[in-house]
Amino acid sequence: MKIGSEEQLKTLLRTRGLRFTPDRLRVFRALADTPQPLSVPALINIVAPDGVNQATVYRTVEQFLALAVVQTVLLHDGVVGYELVPPFSSHHHHFICLDCGNVQDLPADRVDSALTKSLQGLGLKAVGHKVDIYGQCEKCHEDTD
Amino acid sequence: MKIGSEEQLKTLLRTRGLRFTPDRLRVFRALADTPQPLSVPALINIVAPDGVNQATVYRTVEQFLALAVVQTVLLHDGVVGYELVPPFSSHHHHFICLDCGNVQDLPADRVDSALTKSLQGLGLKAVGHKVDIYGQCEKCHEDTD
DNA sequence: TTGTTATTGCAACAAATTCGCAACAATAAA
DNA sequence: TTTATTGTTGCGAATTTGTTGCAATAACAA
């Protein structure tokens, strides 16, 4: 699974004339190993101890974005986070707890078809979507009771 | 319509012991008059000529967020934007053109019920949601043909 | 009108992001 | 393997973006 993804990243990079470097792999792994979207500063905290330079992280994230390896996600406090997208991770949506700020993944299949239909007749051509749902996660819901 | 919203803002602020000031009204109007979500720098560009200080804009946006007068929206280029939410604007979702970056509103009613259902059985309590759909807007779709 | 207290402006500060460029290293080809 | 090519990185400074403290100001309830 993980190795397969890394091979795909390698192939994708080379296809575009880019290089598969240790630093890029470190950033990729940080994203793959973290269940939550990461901001650039958060990413820097993770990979800096491995010797990856701050500027390199910015450049890598920008490239991953251009390559559609990652997508941006809005965290609860208005911070932009990055996460892997298919085929590097499963297609999913987010449930963001308004109490604790935790972001958890939601399986996407239940909502996808409905969204596609909702565009019919509007002259718009969808190639992707992002759904964020806000509320209380199970834990915080219990605390409130 | 507009006057009604401003009255509501005034009431909301006073209810919380906050004040209805000219600066806050200017920021509110900038948001109400712009059909797209605005980043803080963009807001500053709009209201600075009217004498609103940069720091004031940041503080006002933060307050509007806490008061749920605005919500954050992720623009196509990873920039965080702010827009009014109900009852200050209609409930809607976004269609973001990947070609030109334009953000247009989508009527929300078609997708809302489907989203609510999708959470059943997960132990999550939704109080709101945000749906962003990406693709080509009508204009850019024509250009591609 | 007046007192209370939230708000603002200012300017310094802190954090986040970008930039140029020389040294380096991943590839493909020899 | 070795080499040449050229994409990548590190560094540090410059820039942009966002934050803070505090005195002066202004909103507004009484």
Q: Are B28 and B69 in the same domain? A: yes
Instruction: Please give the pLDDT value at position B20.
Output: 94
The Cα A39–Cα A102 span in angstroms is: 14
A99 and A78 co-located in one domain: no
Task: Answer whether any strand D atom is within 7 A of the Cβ of B43.
Answer: no
Residue with tokens 């979702």: B93
Radius of gyration in angstroms for the set of CA atoms belonging to chain A, rounded to a whole number: 17
- Report the alpha-carbon distance of residue A22 to residue A49 in Å, rounded: 14
Please write the tens of the pLDDT for every residue from A100-110: 666 777 767 76
| Closest nt by CA–C1' to A56 | D9
For residues B114 and B139, state if they share a domain. yes
Closest CA to B95 of A69, A127, A73, A83: A127
Domain range enclosing B101: 90-145
Nearest to B125 among A74, A117, A136 (CB): A136
Q: How many CB atoms lie within 10 A of CB B25?
A: 15
How many angstroms separate the CA atoms of A124 and A90, rounded? Answer: 25
Classify strands A92-97 and A125-136 as parallel, antiparallel or unpaired.
parallel
State which residues of chain B have pLDDT below 70: 1-3, 76-77, 97-102, 107, 110-111, 113-123, 125, 135, 137-141, 143-145
Number of domains into which chain A is organized? 2
Reduced 3-state DSSP string for chain A: CHHHHHHHHHHHHHHCCCCCCHHHHHHHHHHHHCCCCECHHHHHHHHHHHCCCHHHHHHHHHHHHHCCCEEEEECCCCCEEEEECCCCCCCEEEEEECCCCCEEEEECHHHHHHHHHHCCCCCCEEEEEEEEEEEECHHHHHHHC
Domain co-membership, A104 together with A76: no
**Residue ranges of chain A with per-residue pLDDT less than 50:** 1
The answer to whether B94 touches B133, Cβ cutoff 8 Å, is yes
Q: Is the C-beta atom of A23 closer than 7 angstroms to strand D?
A: yes
Nearest CB to A74; choose among B74, B122, B125: B74
pLDDT of residue A112: 72
Look at residues A87, A105, A131 and tell me which one is the last residue of a structural domain: A87
DSSP letters of chain B? -HHHHHHHHHHHHHHTT----HHHHHHHHHHHH-SS-B-HHHHHHHHGGGT--HHHHHHHHHHHHHTTSEEEEE-TTS-EEEEE-TTSS--EEEEEETTT--EEEEESHHHHHHHHHHTTTTT-EEEEEEEEEEEE-HHHHHHH-
Same domain, residue pair B73 and B134:
no
Distance from the first to the final alpha carbon of chain B:
40
* Same domain, yes or no: B112 and B135: yes
pLDDT at A95: 78
| Residue that finishes a domain, picked among A67, A87, A107 | A87
Do residue A127 and residue A115 come from a single domain?
A: yes
In this structure, the answer to whether residues A75 and A97 fall within a common structural domain is: no
Closest nucleotide (C1' vs CA) to B13 is C6
As a whole number of angstroms, the longest Cα–Cα distance in chain A is 56
Instruction: Give the contacts of B42 (CB within 8 A, at least 6 positions apart).
Output: B81
Q: What CATH code is carried by the domain that includes residue B51?
A: 1.10.10.10
Find the residue in A nearest to B135 (Cα): A126
Residue that terminates a domain, selected from B89, B120, B137 = B89
Same domain? A37 vs A22: yes
Q: Which residue has the tokens 């390199």?
A: A56
CATH number of the domain encompassing residue A115: 3.30.1490.190
If asked whether residues A79 and A108 sit together in one domain, one would say: no
Give the tens place of pLDDT for each residue, B40-51.
988 998 998 889
Whether residues A67 and A97 fall in one domain: no
Find the Å distance, CA of residue A56 to C1' of nucleotide D9.
7
- Given a contact cutoff of 8 angstroms between Cβ atoms, the answer to whether A58 and A92 are in contact is no
Are residues B23 and B70 located together in one domain of the fold? Answer: yes
Residues 90-119 of chain A: which lie with beta carbon within 7 Å of strand D? none
